[in-house]
Amino acid sequence: MKFLRTEIPDVIICKPDVYGDDRGFFMETFREDKLTDFLGYKIDFCQDNESKSTFGVLRGLHYQLPPFAQTKLVRVIEGSVLDVAVDIRKDSPTFGKHVSVELTGENKKQLLIPKGFAHGFLVLSDTAQFAYKVDNYYSPEHDRGIAYDAQELNIDWKLPVDKLKLSLKDNRQLSFDEADFF
């Protein structure tokens, strides 16, 4: 497994070694020891989540406040998504900046998103099966969000607004300057 820092160094692209032949492929999707060696600290993942969505579905930008903040390790099993992580740590030199990475079932890249980031993704394929690990349980009382189209963030979602499908909750998220930060 290879680890690459993004333009926001705390957000990491994880590239598994894939062993394939005419029968298919094999890969390790997570190795605690290798990730710990790279980061210099251990993440205790406690829950796995999975979703399936259709083209144009945008989920996010979501996060949880302490003490239920979450680190996420996200990947696409099938299909393609634009995955976005926004730094919402007030004291960070990259506060308000974001990283966008295309994750696909083909490229098998994963994105490690630490605590202190809002996260969202947009489905670019007909359907996408999305899976992720978290290191803290879901807590509705600590659940927060930021509007996907917050002007301060200037996120290029790669699709016109009329193609986006959002939940009622995601259509009502706060603007960036109204959000709760870390």
| Domain ranges, residue 98 | 47-178
∠ CA 18-22-23, nearest 5°, is 80
22 within domain boundaries: no
Task: Kindly tell me the sign of the dihedral angle through the C-alpha atoms of 38, 40, 43, 44.
Answer: positive
29 within domain boundaries: no
One digit per residue, the tens of pLDDT, for the chain of length 182 reads 999 999 999 999 999 999 999 999 999 999 999 999 999 999 999 999 999 999 999 999 999 999 999 999 999 999 999 999 999 999 999 999 999 999 999 999 999 999 999 999 999 999 999 999 999 999 999 999 999 999 999 999 999 999 999 999 999 999 999 999 99
88 within domain boundaries: yes
Check which CATH number belongs to the domain holding 106 and give it. 2.60.120.10
Catalytic residue list: 62, 132
Q: What's the structural domain count of the chain?
A: 1
CB 111 within 8 A of CB 85: yes
41 within domain boundaries: no
